Amino acid sequence: MARVGRKNHELLPSFQRVTVDGNSWSSYLLSKGKVSMQKTLISVLFLMFSCLIGCSTPQEDKDDPALKAEKGREDSGEQPPETAIDGNRRHLESEAVLRQRVRAKSCEKFAKELTKLPHVAGSKRNAELATYLVNTLTQFGFQVERHVYEVLLPYPVHVEVEMVAPVAFSASLREEPTELDLDTSNKAVLPFNAYSPDCDLTAPVIYVNYGRREDFERLAALGIDCRGKIALTRYGRIFRGSKAKIAAEFGAAAMILFSDPADDGFVKGDVYPHGPFRPSTAVERGSILDISTYPGDPGTPGIPSLPGEDQLTFDQMKSLPNLPTTCISQADAKPLLENMKGSTVPDGWQGGIPITYHLGDASTVRLRLHLEMDYSLRLIENITATLNGLRCPDEVILIGNHRDAWVHGASDPGSGTSVLLEAARVLADAKEAGQGLDRTVRFAFWDAEEFGIIGSTEYGEQFAKELSKECVAYINIDSAVSGPNLRLAGVPTLARFAQDVLSSIANEGKPGSLVDPLLNEKGQMRYGTLGSGSDYTVFLERLGIDCIDIGSGGAHGVYHSSYDTYVFMKRFADPGFKQHKVMAGVLATMVSRLANSEILPFDFKRLGADLLQTQKRMEARYKNLDLSEIGELANHVTDVGTKINQAMVKLGSMNLNLETRLLLNRRIYQASRKLLLKNGLEERPWYKHALWAPHPDKGYGTEDLPTITDALLANDKNRAQDGATELVNVLRAYLNEIDGLRQHLERLTEQ
């Protein structure tokens, strides 16, 4: 008999505040079979101690090249940006000094400590790393705070994938260690997909390619009924949580995800430890929480999960997936695929395992899937470190990365944490040397990002009011380095700023600047849009804070496996930690320039131009929809933005007093708050931004104009037109706001 569900015992008070010590992890490391996990009640004393001393990103398949292409959609046909318009050129010299202080060795030292042991969210090691960060940042001279939340984090207790017919086979779920990298023999978290329900079921298997909506539609067209079947799905192209959601819609009984060598294994190149690609036994762990409904703790949407906060019941948690799902390696997928019958797969569906893939039928391969999770509330801890601004202390530049990793996390997220620490170190040193920044800078080290962007979301929910008022911008790093190729995404208003920063930094050892490799033949910088999948989500999509996401990548296959280690980083991703140095230099420069700009370098013209492109694209696609008013408003935004830019150029050479600048800058960075929908999106009110949301079928990818697109995805034309009206109202308010800013600026230029 099939059994699917979750045991509710975790929500009883006696199971609250659970953490895991190193030994209990080891007990289910590299093991399958039933292991009971030690639960350690964290004493009230620990809690008090923690709070007193101040307590404790696809990538998103983020490294999936195809997914990145989706995210990193090239922007509009806009001209290359004008040159910098404010007085920040005077800071170029001090920025160069900052970069000279950045050390590759220092980044490596941080990386070594951060990646020494596996440190999944809620574990003892991750708490130790919080303390390491607190000590390190305090030594640098920062004011350090700990932010503790109590959130629902499922850990795997029992994971079993067993072929019962036509031959008996049991998936090993074991990632083979290698003597060339001793870290690979450390105890890793048993491969699992976080937030899968428990189950014990036996069903036939079918192959569903990448598990996208179009893949399931193709199967339906071929007459294949997915109902009651286990969907064998390869990773890639969309967020794994979206695959589980779509498969459930098509009636699947369960899903097994595997890493196909055509996507990141031997088909791409030599596998680890001889090359950077995925070895045959490597498994990609990962959450399947439905972050496009809402991210963060599933039990407390919209409010911070402070310890003791009431949680929703499982039935009420709309982000919890319903489909039992787990992940296996290529080596464990092979025997299943070998035994599957039915028709051969359609064009483009054949993967890289050297056998012919079949779709499967109802009678040959039957699998038993047995999953048991420990759904407990556990403590997580964000660390923030603040360097107060000398002249505008109430304006805050926020920059952050997550600390928790599925295993060692050298690339994801260790590289991000290392470069963030190094940037923090040089900025603190500069302040010590008398070169403090005008604005306040806050470095954030989020927890439980891997489970569902939890730490940053809870923080954003807790400090919504303060952030809305003070936060100038948020810069996100996740996997800062997994290769040498810089990638950049963000809101349109910060595109010119980002391009300006990169073009002011020489590309060491090569001609030109860091921006050059990002330019297309027309001289436009590749600059992706933001959907979700990392810690910028709450700041952009709920609080309307302008964000940039930056990192540098390369082709590899260690994502979310035991092989993303220090040795992997040193041998393949970043020999000599040179790219870490580049990234720390870029971050220090970005932060410094934003913190010292006399007039904040936001570009409203670009937002208008990008919006017009989006409107044209949607109108061409959905012929019956009247979006003309949105087009007109986009043109107005462009016009007003152009005038604002002109006025900013004039003002750049004028001496404004501090009070005037404060007033002006507040209007500049708070303008984006006007892009928020008062009540959020109809079907997912946690999301409030009128221009962008994560795509419900892709998870990480961006959905443009979601008041309209959500309705179109639900095939509701009338609601789509209402959504257009709602957007028009938001855009009018926004236009009104920036036009007021234009008048303000022009008045100042006339003085």
CB of 185 vs Zn ion, minimal distance in Å = 23
Exactly one of 147, 689, 703, 737 is catalytic; which is it? 689
CB of 401 vs Zn ion, minimal distance in Å = 8
3-state secondary structure 399-432: EEEECCCCCCCHHHHHHHHHHHHHHHHHHHHHHH
State how far the Cα of 337 lies from the Cα of 354, in Å rounded to an integer.
10
CB of 422 vs Zn ion, minimal distance in Å = 18
CA atoms within 13 A on the CB side of 417: 34
Does residue 670 belong to the site contacting Zn ion (CB under 5 A)? Answer: no
Closest CA to 314 of 292, 299, 293: 299
Residues 6+ apart with CB under 8 A from 603: 81, 492, 493, 494, 495, 496, 497, 641, 645
C-beta of 20 vs 448, nearer to Zn ion: 448
Write out the DSSP string of 224-272: ---TT-EEEEE--SS-HHHHHHHHHHTT-SEEEEE--HHHHSTTTSPBT
At residue 570, the 3 state secondary structure works out as helix
CB of 456 vs Zn ion, minimal distance in Å = 11
Q: Is 724 left (phi over 0), alpha (psi -120 to 50) or beta?
A: alpha
Exactly one of 14, 36, 363, 628 is catalytic; which is it? 628
Does residue 535 belong to the site contacting Zn ion (CB under 5 A)? Answer: no
**Which region among 50-58, 158-166, 279-287, 743-751 touches Zn ion (by CB under 5 A)?**
50-58
Does residue 412 belong to the site contacting Zn ion (CB under 5 A)? Answer: yes
State how far the Cα of 340 lies from the Cα of 363, in Å rounded to an integer.
9
Residue holding tokens 């462009």? 638
C-beta of 56 vs 57, nearer to Zn ion: 57
CB of 245 vs Zn ion, minimal distance in Å = 21
C-beta of 412 vs 598, nearer to Zn ion: 412
- Here the tokens at position 627 are 């979006």
CB of 332 vs Zn ion, minimal distance in Å = 24
How many residues lie near Zn ion (CB under 5 A)?
A: 4
689 as an active site residue: the answer is yes
CB of 411 vs Zn ion, minimal distance in Å = 9
CA distances from 245 to 61, 156, 231, 252, 392 (A): 16, 20, 12, 10, 46
Residue span 440-479 as binding mask against Zn ion, x where in contact by CB under 5 A, dash where not:
--------------------------------------x-
State how far the Cα of 375 lies from the Cα of 475, in Å rounded to an integer.
32
| Contact in structure between 149 and 217 (CB atoms under 8 Å) | no
C-beta of 108 vs 450, nearer to Zn ion: 450
449 as an active site residue: the answer is yes
| Contact in structure between 556 and 483 (CB atoms under 8 Å) | yes
C-beta of 438 vs 478, nearer to Zn ion: 478
Among 87, 197, 400, 413, binds Zn ion (CB under 5 A): 413
State how far the Cα of 528 lies from the Cα of 329, in Å rounded to an integer.
31
C-beta of 497 vs 700, nearer to Zn ion: 700
Write out the binding residues for Zn ion, residues 388-407 only, by CB under 5 A: none
Closest CA to 555 of 275, 235, 353: 275
C-beta of 286 vs 436, nearer to Zn ion: 286
Residue span 694-713 as binding mask against Zn ion, x where in contact by CB under 5 A, dash where not:
--------------------
Element (H, E) at 200: strand 198-207
Residue nearest to Zn ion (CB): 57
C-beta of 374 vs 412, nearer to Zn ion: 412
Exactly one of 449, 470, 541, 598 is catalytic; which is it? 449
CB of 350 vs Zn ion, minimal distance in Å = 30
556 as an active site residue: the answer is no
Write out the binding residues for Zn ion, residues 54-113 only, by CB under 5 A: 57
Write out the binding residues for Zn ion, residues 249-288 only, by CB under 5 A: none
Residue holding tokens 């007459």? 223
Closest CA to 749 of 599, 596, 593: 599
State how far the Cα of 181 lies from the Cα of 175, in Å rounded to an integer.
13
C-beta of 258 vs 700, nearer to Zn ion: 700
| Contact in structure between 491 and 607 (CB atoms under 8 Å) | yes
CB of 535 vs Zn ion, minimal distance in Å = 8
H helix and E strand count, the chain:
23, 19
Return the active site residues. Answer: 449, 628, 689
Residues that bind Zn ion (CB under 5 A): 57, 412-413, 478
